Structure formats: structure tokens, C-alpha cells
Chain A
Amino acid sequence: MRGAWRWLREHAVNIVAALVVVYMLIPIAVILVFSFNDPAGKYNFTWVGFTLSHWGNAFGIPELNSALLTSLKLALLATLVSTAIGTLMALALVRHQFHGRRAANLLIVVPMATPEIVMGASLLSFFIILGAPGLGFQTLLIAHVMFCISFVVVVVRSRLIGFDRNLEEAARDLGANSFETFRLVTLPLIMPGILGGALLAFALSIDDFVISNFNSGTTVTFPLYIYGAAQRGIPVEVNVIAMILFGVTVLAMGFTVWQQRRAEKLSEARPEQEAALPIPAGAAEAA
């Protein structure tokens, strides 16, 4: 009995952690299960029967499709713009000393610390008082870029901080000018950070509900479609699409991790290769 108690105490933390992971996955399981439901009417609340028909018809509802497309378009554009802007800002903040650095830092942190409802409401006030052209895709885009910038800056910045500037100096010593150095040395090396920021921006934009709810006018994004549908009965296809999005992101993340592992393995192999030049490359890699 004592042994069991001790085992429990030792592994208590792990057990709690496992329970938490299960807890986090329960709603996903529910969403998945109900994507196979076969309700007779409009409402998908109670389990009726199993069917794959909604998976086969995932893109069969035109309003859902257009909402999804709008969301994807919006997220893509917002990601491009905010990643570009955010990366530039991160570069400035990490690499240069200048007046107003503190203020710039503040400007970046405060939006992250503002509740979404305040940001959404203030943007609404802004667009309302401005009047034309009115709420719609453009206002959504503006709002999305705005709240994504800060997150991109934070991610890229953390990557830049760990960056070895000696590599840039080495490039310059070898005759490259600033622009070439940036393009051929800096950019590729901070690319993972930039991609990380871009991924985060994309995720934030595609899932945004509160700010979009206030500033979309009559444009319908995917979360807004669901909000409207929640009143009248969410079609099963919504669950299907949510699972597809989930699956795609899991695959994407899996891919990036796999790439990372590969890159690590390759960089491990390289020093051995250099140290053992006479030996054929193939044997060294196998070592």
C-alpha cells in the first residue's frame, strides 16, 4: 500500500498533467463525434446516428463556403501585411538604439493587454464617426492587421535576440553590402521566427470573433457565420470543416517540427563530415 502511495506521490504531477491534456481534448472529441451525426432536422444537439455523408458534403453549403473563403482571404492578407510590418518593427527594436524605444515598446505591448471588446468597440466608434466607406472587408482587414502586429513583433523579436551577429559581420568581411547581408544571411536565419509569427497571426485572424463581430458590417467570416448559425441550428458541415481546419493545422505543425528535427540531424552530421574529410561523405553521414 505504501509503495502504491509513494508511486502516486512521485507521479502526481504527471498524472495531473495527463488529466489536463485529456480535459483539453474532450471538446475536440465532442466536435469530432458530432461531425458524424445524422440529425433528422436542422439541429445537431443530440446523437441520432452515424453517417459519413456530411464529410462527403463538407463544402455543400454555399453560405458556409463563402464565409470560410472570406476568412481565409482575410487571414492571408492580414498575415502578409502584419508579418511584414511586424518583422520590420522587431528589427528596429532589437538592433537599434534610438529615442522613443520605450514608447515603441509600450505601443506594441498595450494592444496585447487590451481586452478584445475594448479594441473592437473603439474601432467601431472610429469607423462610425468617420462615416464612409462603412464597415466591411476593408475595416476587418485593418482591424486584423492591427491586433496581429504586436504578436508578430514579439515572436520575431525573441528569435532575433538569440541571433548571432558575428555571422553578419563575417558576411560583411567577405564583401557583402548591408542589403546582401540581410537577404542572404539574416533573413534565412530568422525565417523560422518570421514563419512562427506569421503562423500565429494567421491563427489569430482566422479565429477572431469579438473584434470581427464589431467591425464586420455585413461581411460574414467563418466565426461570424457560426455565431449566426448557433441561433438557428449549426449544420453538421460546420463541425466537419472545423475538424478539417484542425487537421490541417496539426499537419502543418507536425511538418514544421519534422523539418526542425531534420535540420537538427543534418547540422549534427556536418561537424563529423568536416573533421573526417578523407572519408567519403556517405559513410560520415551514416556515422
Chain B
Amino acid sequence: MGSSGGATSRTGRLIGAMRQKRARALALALGVAALALGLAACGSGGGGSGGTVELEGEPSGKLTISNWPLYIDPGKEGTVKEFEKATGIDVKYIEDVNDNAEFFGKMQPLLEQGESGGRSVFVVTDWMAKKMHDLGYLQNLDKEGIPNVEKNLVSSLRNPGFDPNRDFSVPWQSGMGGVIVRTDLAPEVRSVCDLFDPKYKGKVDFLSELRETVPLVMTCEGVNPEEATEEDWMNSIEKIKGAVESGQIRRFTGNDYARDLTSGDAVAVIGWSGDAVQLQADNPNIEWRMPTEGCSLWSDNMVIPVGAPNPTAAEAWMNYVYQPQAAAKIAEYVNYVTPVEGVKQIFEKTEPELAESELIFPSAEFTAKCFTQAQLSEEEEQPVTRAWNAVLNG
């Protein structure tokens, strides 16, 4: 390439080229932005009310279930396999519910469209079941398909506040939130309030679940969580915040307080009853204790979402696990409070220690002071959640 012309024309060409380049870059950017906004306009729409399940003949075909991890007895002789053998239905069992809000976030775009991502059943805690129902994401159940539920559901769970007639939810397992302690390291802890004792500074874990931890802390102030006001929630959150800042609370956990308890990094935690039974197998010094002010009672519920393929099979599954034999098999592995009547009698013959356990078969006196999971109204939800997350995230 010969160099024709002098420096000025070359500079001129350079500037021209630069301008051209910049103009092209700008055009490209605008084009991309336009494309993006254009596509955004045709986003999602729809939604709709839940409707009721329509049963069609004998249950058959495929069934996809979403549940929490380690919430069923696994393996070749597990309940899923037994169900498949008994009914011929092909089950895909996924353990992808790790957190109610997270699961909601994942499912919401689909449910909004009336889709369920292939799932026919999933298991969510009371408050999330209510939330989904209120948004029209769940179908009402056809009671004809689940006679065992009608027959065997324990009386204490028949008429919960959020679903008085059990129209859209069937309990999977129930549980209690209280304190779990290392009896060899912190034997005197008997209530949630004891967790604020500076003696245990840096050795206490709280649950990150808003609706478990804060109501329990409320009881320390004498508040009844079932009647709590927004101010009560905020006050308890403030108290917890103080404990974080002073280093009292080691960390907020999900189920992973188990690690801290086993290693002794934590001596007392807010925790769930089912985990304690499992932990005891590893370390007999670990014990779940009913807080003196009472515990929190919750259930994880099976629900059928809108757009569920094969709801007939879904109800067949619900019906199956409400047989006392099947429920006993699950309860033996999971160690939470079974919602099915008749399991205790089976255990009295096969697993007598489990039959005695207050954690799996709590008596009415045991849970006298306990409260069902507190609900947040729509207006309260945003500010309380925000305040709570501000504490969790430091």
C-alpha cells in the first residue's frame, strides 16, 4: 500500500475512520437494545385460577414429584419403588425443593403461565402453600381420589388455619421447631431465650427461616406469635440483630446447623425435631428440647399445581402414602411427625423406641404451648422480609 497524500489527509482518514467506527458501535448498541426491549414486550402473561383436579379412570402413566432432600426412604426398597410396583406408574422423584422462597422463585414464571414444568406434585411448607393458592397456582383436590387421607389424617392437622377444609393441601410430614442442644456442652439450655445467654457467645446458631426463628424469639417477650403485629416482628428482629452484632449468634443456617452441633462448634441451636433424631445416631449427646415457651408447629404439604400432567396419578400417590404401612416406612427413615393415624400402632410392634418418641408422636400435652406457623399478611410481608434479610446479610 503506497502512501499517497500527506499527513493531513492521513489524519483526516483516521478521524473519519474513528467516527465511522464510533457511529457503527453506537448503532450496534442501539440495535441490540431495541431487540432486547422488543423481546421484553412479548414477555409472559396469563395466570388464572387453580381449578379442581379432574380424575380420569385408573391411575397410570408417568408421575413427577418434587420434594425436599432426604425426605423419603430411598433406594430399591424405598417407598417410591414400592409405589411403582403396586400401581405400575413410572415415578420421577426429584429432590429440588431446598427452600420455599427459592422454589417459588423457580416455579413462579412457569406457574404464572399455567405450567408446572412437568411436575404433578410438590411439597411446600404451610405458608408457601397458602401463598401459591392465593395466587391461583394450585388445583383443588378431588377428595374421591384420596379416601385414605380422609380416613387417616390425624385430627390435629385436619383443619389448619390456612386451608380449613384441606381443599388443596395434604400434609406430607409435620414437625416442630425448637432448640437442639449438646447435652454435654450446654445442658441448661431449655428455651430459645437461653440462646441469648452470653455464656454461649459465638456458639449458637439460629435458623435463617424467617417464619421459624422470629416467632420463637417473640415468645421470649411473651408475645403470642399467632396474634403478632408487625411491630412485634420488627422488635424481635431488632433483638436478633443485636445478638448478631455482639457476636452471640455464630451464624444463620438451614439444616446445616447439624454440622456445627456435631463438631461442637455450636452448643445449642434453633432446630427441627426430625433432624435431632438423626443426629443422635451420630452423637448421643444431641437432644431436641421443647422450649419452655412452646415450639413452632408446621407441616410440609403435598400440593397439585396448575398444569400438572396426570393429576390422577398424583392423587394415587397421596392416597398410597396415607396407608399406615407406607407412612410407617417413611416415618422410620425421616423421623418427623407423621400425619397418618395408625403408624404408632405399627411401631409399637416393630420399632418400640420410635413408638415412644415424643418427637415422632407428640402427645397433646407435649405440644400444649406450641403455636402453628405464624402468617404474615400481604402488607407486612415486604417490610418484615426486608428487615430480616438485612440482618441475615449483615
Contacts and interface: CB of A to CB of B under 8 A. Distances in A.
The reply, when asked whether chain A contacts chain B directly with Cβ atoms under 8 A, is yes
Interface of A: 39-43, 45-46, 48, 60-63, 103, 128-132, 134-136, 217-218, 220, 227-233
A142 B231 CA distance: 46
A48 B93 CA distance: 31
A177 to B, nearest CB: 28
B342 interface: no
B256 interface: yes
Interface string B48-73: 00000000000000000010111000
B255 interface: yes
Q: Which of B43, B66, B107, B259 has the largest count of A CB atoms less than 10 A from its CB?
A: B259
Given A43-B282, A231-B256, 19 more contacts: A41-B279, A41-B281, A42-B70, A43-B258, A43-B259, A60-B75, A61-B74, A62-B75, A63-B74, A129-B39, A131-B44, A131-B109, A131-B113, A132-B115, A135-B106, A228-B98, A229-B69, A232-B255, A233-B255
A42 B117 contact: no
Contacts of A220: 94-96
A118 to B, nearest CB: 16
Given A43-B282, A232-B255, A130 B39 contact: yes
Q: Which of B68, B109, B278 has the largest count of A CB atoms less than 10 A from its CB?
A: B109
Q: Which of A39, A61, A136, A233 has the largest count of B CB atoms less than 10 A from its CB?
A: A233
Interface of B: 25, 39-40, 43-44, 66, 68-70, 74-75, 93-96, 98, 106-107, 109-110, 113, 115, 117, 119, 254-256, 258-259, 262-263, 278-283
5 contacts: A41-B280, A45-B259, A130-B39, A131-B113, A134-B115
Contacts of B256: 230-231
B253 to A, nearest CB: 8
Given A43-B282, A62-B74, A231 B255 contact: yes
A134 B109 contact: yes
A40 B263 contact: no
Q: Which of A63, A220, A231 has the largest count of B CB atoms less than 10 A from its CB?
A: A231
A41 B278 contact: yes
Contact of B70 (A40, A46, A128, A233): A233
B43 A130 contact: yes
- Lowest 6 CB-CB distances: which A-B pairs, in order? A131-B44, A41-B281, A231-B255, A232-B70, A41-B282, A45-B262
A209 to B, nearest CB: 14
Contact of A132 (B44, B66, B94, B107): B44
Nearest to B96: A218
A231 B254 contact: yes
B25 A228 contact: no
A228 B258 contact: no
Q: Which of A61, A128, A227 has the largest count of B CB atoms less than 10 A from its CB?
A: A128
A195 B52 CA distance: 55
B42 to A, nearest CB: 8
Given A43-B278, A218-B106, A233 B258 contact: yes
Q: Which of A39, A227, A230 has the largest count of B CB atoms less than 10 A from its CB?
A: A230
A170 to B, nearest CB: 27
Contacts of A46: 262-263, 282-283
B40 A40 contact: no
Nearest to B81: A62
Contact of A103 (B25, B95, B113, B115): B25
B265 to A, nearest CB: 10
Given A40-B281, A43-B282, A232-B70, A218 B117 contact: yes
B354 to A, nearest CB: 14
A176 to B, nearest CB: 30
A162 to B, nearest CB: 28
Given A43-B258, A45-B259, A232-B69, A217 B106 contact: yes
A133 B264 CA distance: 47
A54 to B, nearest CB: 14
A128 B66 contact: no
Contacts of B258: 43, 45, 233
Contact of A134 (B74, B75, B110): B110
B178 to A, nearest CB: 18
A53 to B, nearest CB: 14
A250 to B, nearest CB: 29
A40 B117 contact: no
A233 B280 CA distance: 14
Contact of A43 (B93, B117, B262): B262
Nearest to B110: A134
Contacts of B281: 40-41
Given A45-B259, A62-B74, A103-B25, A132 B113 contact: yes
Contacts of A103: 25
Contacts of B262: 43, 45-46
A192 B157 CA distance: 65
B74 to A, nearest CB: 7
Contacts of B254: 231
A107 to B, nearest CB: 11
